[in-house]
Amino acid sequence: MNLGDVRQIKIWLQLIDGLLAATAFIAAYYLRVHILPGILPLESREIGEFQIYIPYTGMMGLLAPLVLSRRGLYRHFSGRGRKANWAAMFEAGLILFLIGVSVIFFFKQSPSRIVFILFVPIFFFFLFLREEFLFRFRLFRRQTEHYSVRLLLVTDSPEGSDRWINLFSDAPVGIRVTRTFRAESGSIQDFAEALHEDSAGIALFDVSTRHMNWTAQAIKACEEEGIEAWLSTDFVGTQIARAQFEEIMNRNLLVFRSTRAGTWQFVAKVLIDRIASTFLLLLLSPLLLVIWIAIKLESSGPALFRQRRSGRHGDPFTMYKFRTMHSDAEMRKAELEALNEMSGPVFKIKKDPRVTRVGAFLRFTSLDELPQLINVFLGHMSLVGPRPLPTYETLAMTANAQRRRLSVTPGMTCLWQISGRNEVKDFSDWVRLDLEYIDQWSLWLDFQILLQTIPAVLFGRGAR
């Protein structure tokens, strides 16, 4: 069996899991109709004939492989533990349950909800049995030395050799490391002969930068012979950015990406930002008008404060806020520099004498931030993301880690806001919270931050 056969197992597993999902839904219907009424005092209302459930059976069978794939169940080389797989399987069942219930409400149909509830544990049980059988089958093949593919390991350090051999000994697929070939210990011809002698299907290169020229020739030899070549990117030393090959202008590039742009969640985030900002601007338009009038009545000057802020990758844009200071605030900043309470390039004072009475209320309630919904609508900002800094403060940053907060679109709220906002006086802590958000980002995290922002705003936690 070669590696191609191992990867083809993914297709077979998807077909099997689709059938298991459809079978689990049928079993849930049978359990609800023929077994549960004799055990529990359920409602005697009509739950409908089986024909009503046929479309849902097909839907579960089609969606199950897609959901399981998103949860990482088909990553044969992931090396993650079985318990992690069990959690992902149960989560997949819950996702399918939510999709099914959503379809019911959307089409206003009336099948039994209990059938969908029963589907989750039954489907998890079927997946558990399938996973256990597959695990024991793989274990049996390893014990009987039936390997899926032979691998030639090319490295220039004993540590690298031991590390990969130990990793593959616990791998979920049968990979046999036939030998360790020292980089540049022989010619390319010697390397090719080693491939032939071992009948290797994969050549894994874990080398340092000083052997890149030789490695490039060896990979070319693998290409000519149709042998799969794997190149470890440990020589770069990245800890956050993930490497992947992309074809750009007919050239293969090894791309290191530390953000998750380009995923379906990122597209959903953009759509949510545009739709939500449009709705909120229409809904809050009377309140915006009242605030505008209050600002104009108290002090002279424009009601809206415009300032150049740093967007994604530092690209400047004009950010809008309600003016909370007197119109000469920027000119008076120099005389207040000594009172700055925030370390780093950021300027903040707890009791800023430039703030007006209306402005103090707006800051306490964060109502001064509402015009930024215009920036969200225009795509300059997002509802959730690191707060955009003025361009002059961004230029004052000296550490690369500080500038990494510019790798994503800035937002109206983030972890800093729900952690007490201006109570954080060390700029490094502010950056740490922003980087934590970037590294752990998901739509669910955005939703949690938005929910926690509401009480932070209502109670003015950390506001000034």
Residue range 35-50, pLDDT digits in tens:
877 776 665 455 767 8
Q: Residue 358: which pLDDT band, with cuts at 50, 70 and 90?
A: confident
Q: Tell me: the pLDDT tens digits for 317-329? A: 999 999 888 766 6
Q: Tell me: the pLDDT tens digits for 267-301? A: 788 889 999 999 999 999 999 999 999 988 888 88
119, 157, 207, 263 from 183: Cα distances, Å? 54, 9, 7, 37
Of residues 158, 154, 268, the one with CA closest to residue 211: 154
Identify the pLDDT of residue 377: 94
Identity at 332, one-letter amino acid code: R
Contact 324, 360 (CB under 8 A): yes
> Among the CATH numbers 3.40.50.10700, 3.90.1530.30, 3.40.30.10, 3.40.50.2020, which is that of 149-257?
3.40.50.10700
Locate the domains of the chain by residue range: 3-143, 149-257, 264-458
Q: Residue 311: which pLDDT band, with cuts at 50, 70 and 90?
A: confident
Structure tokens at 393: 């403060």
Q: pTM, whole model, 2 decimals?
A: 0.56
What mean pLDDT, rounded, does the chain reach?
78
Identify the pLDDT of residue 2: 43
Contact 256, 238 (CB under 8 A): yes
Whose structure tokens read 């689990």?
A: 24
Average pLDDT rounded to a whole number, residues 358-371: 86
Long-range contacts of 346-349 (CB under 8 A, 24+ apart): 346/389, 346/393, 346/427, 346/430, 347/393, 348/422, 348/464, 349/464
Q: How far apart are CA 367 and CA 399, in angstroms?
A: 32
Apex CA 419: angle with CA 416 and CA 423, to 5°?
85
Q: Looking at residue 299, what DSSP letter applies? A: S
The mean-pLDDT minimum among 89-93, 125-129, 227-231, 381-385 falls in 227-231
Identify the pLDDT of residue 328: 62
Which residues sit opposite 382 in a β-bridge? 411
Provide the 3-class DSSP secondary structure of residue 229.
strand
Identify the pLDDT of residue 299: 83
Q: Tell me: the pLDDT tens digits for 397-417? A: 666 667 778 778 899 988 877
Q: Residue 458: which pLDDT band, with cuts at 50, 70 and 90?
A: low
- Is residue 353's pLDDT more than 50? yes
- pLDDT greater at residue 463 or residue 256: 256
Average pLDDT rounded to a whole number, residues 339-354: 60
- Is residue 108's pLDDT more than 90? no
Identify the pLDDT of residue 3: 46
14, 144, 259, 346 from 58: Cα distances, Å? 14, 39, 36, 57
Q: How far apart are CA 336 and CA 343, in angstroms?
A: 15
Average pLDDT rounded to a whole number, residues 119-139: 86
Distance of CA 349 to the CA centre of its chain: 35
CA-atom Rg of the chain in angstroms: 29
Q: Residue 437: which pLDDT band, with cuts at 50, 70 and 90?
A: confident
215, 314, 317, 354, 410 from 308: Cα distances, Å? 48, 11, 6, 20, 13
Identify the pLDDT of residue 109: 66
Q: Tell me: the pLDDT tens digits for 208-241? A: 888 888 888 888 888 877 788 888 877 776 666 6
Q: How far apart are CA 221 and CA 227, in angstroms?
A: 8
Average pLDDT rounded to a whole number, residues 335-357: 62
